[in-house]
Amino acid sequence: MSSPTFQLLKIITKLGLAGGAVYVAKEQGLLGTSSQAEAALQRAKAALPPAVQEWADNIGVQLPSLPKLNFSVCDSWNWGVDKTVSALDLAPAKITEYTQDGWNYLKDLVK
């Protein structure tokens, strides 16, 4: 059984890691505009392959080359937000529709 001190230490550690991740994301521009996120993605694309290759050379592993992706963050930056807001906007009407369909189905079963 875990002690309260250990539980508190776990919670503090998790909060610290989450806060650090948000801080790094903010500093790198990932939480800014789409152009800032695009710039951060370009920096990551430039820095990541050499770092991975150096790591693989140190371990002695041969890695396949990375696929080339033609993806623009600016074009799809708010796609998820748009879909979520759209779903929330339609939710009351859909709930009413589904409730009415369910009620009609139950009425038909009783007949």
| Predicted pLDDT at 66 | 65
| Predicted pLDDT at 34 | 76
How many helices (H) and strands (E) the chain has is answered by 4, 0
Q: In degrees to the nearest 10, what's the CA dihedral of 34, 35, 41, 43? A: -160
Q: Which residues of the chain have pLDDT under 70?
A: 1-2, 66, 69, 71-77
- Hey, what are 96's tokens? 């009413």
| Predicted pLDDT at 18 | 92
| Predicted pLDDT at 71 | 66
Tell me the backbone φ, ψ of residue 69, rounded to 5 degrees.
-115, 130
27: left (phi over 0), alpha (psi -120 to 50) or beta: alpha
| Predicted pLDDT at 41 | 79
| Predicted pLDDT at 53 | 80
| Predicted pLDDT at 74 | 64
| Predicted pLDDT at 76 | 66
Q: Return the ∠ at Cα 56 (arms to 51 and 57), rounded to 5°.
A: 100
| Predicted pLDDT at 11 | 92
- Would you say how long the chain is, in residues? 111
| Predicted pLDDT at 77 | 62
Could you state, in order of their start, the residue ranges of all structural domains in the chain?
78-111
